[in-house]
Amino acid sequence: MELNELRQMWNRHATDEPTPLSAHSVARMVARKSDSVVTRLRRNAWWEVGSIVYVIIALPFGIDYFNNQFIKGYLLTFELLSVAFLYYYYRKFKLLRRMDHVDKDVRGHLQTLILGLRGLLTIYLRLSLWVTIAAIIATTSYRAYRLTLKYDGGELFWSIGLTVIIMFLTGTVLYWLMIKFTKWYLQKLYGQHLDRLEGYLHELQAE
């Protein structure tokens, strides 16, 4: 563990009779290592914000370009969701700022940060999945509506039934892929760093 390496370095510079690290010294070491992890978390969050801002700027051009009202409505909804999501990142940065000054209560700040960010990541995953479900339902409804303009009677019934089956199967695969991708994405950007912070917290609690 990195904390053990720090302890060995401390002991090498100590006197002939090594002095064990005090709880305060361990806390300061953990705080310094945590700062590095928090910097990575903050950098990844800024990268996400930049991507969202780019989407917010680009989507109006797409809304203006397409003549199809369904596509316009879909893009407009995505635009509004992207703007609303900025509040999510505000909450995330607010949590990360709590680690700027952790001299007195390293353990408490780490616990708050880890629990808060884990909670936000859970919200992100759930929202992503709900948006995926809503998009599948909206697309299925639109395709069914278009069929009502083209067919009637038994032909309409079978056409809509076939469309629903195809969209259900496609949506199931898409939903599964969305779960896998979102979990991988969140673990890559945040989860692995939170795992390290939890490791530091366990080391701190063991002292």
Closest CA to 158 of 35, 166, 52: 166
Closest CA to 87 of 119, 120, 40: 120
| pTM: predicted TM-score of the whole model, two decimal places | 0.76
Give the per-residue pLDDT at 60. 92
Give the per-residue pLDDT at 31. 53
Give the per-residue pLDDT at 18. 43
10-residue stretch averages of pLDDT, the chain, 207 residues long: 49 45 47 70 91 93 88 91 92 81 66 87 92 91 88 87 93 94 93 84 67
pLDDT tens-digit series, residues 48-81:
999 999 999 999 998 889 888 888 988 999 999 9
Closest CA to 182 of 134, 123, 140: 123
Give the per-residue pLDDT at 97. 82
Give the per-residue pLDDT at 114. 84
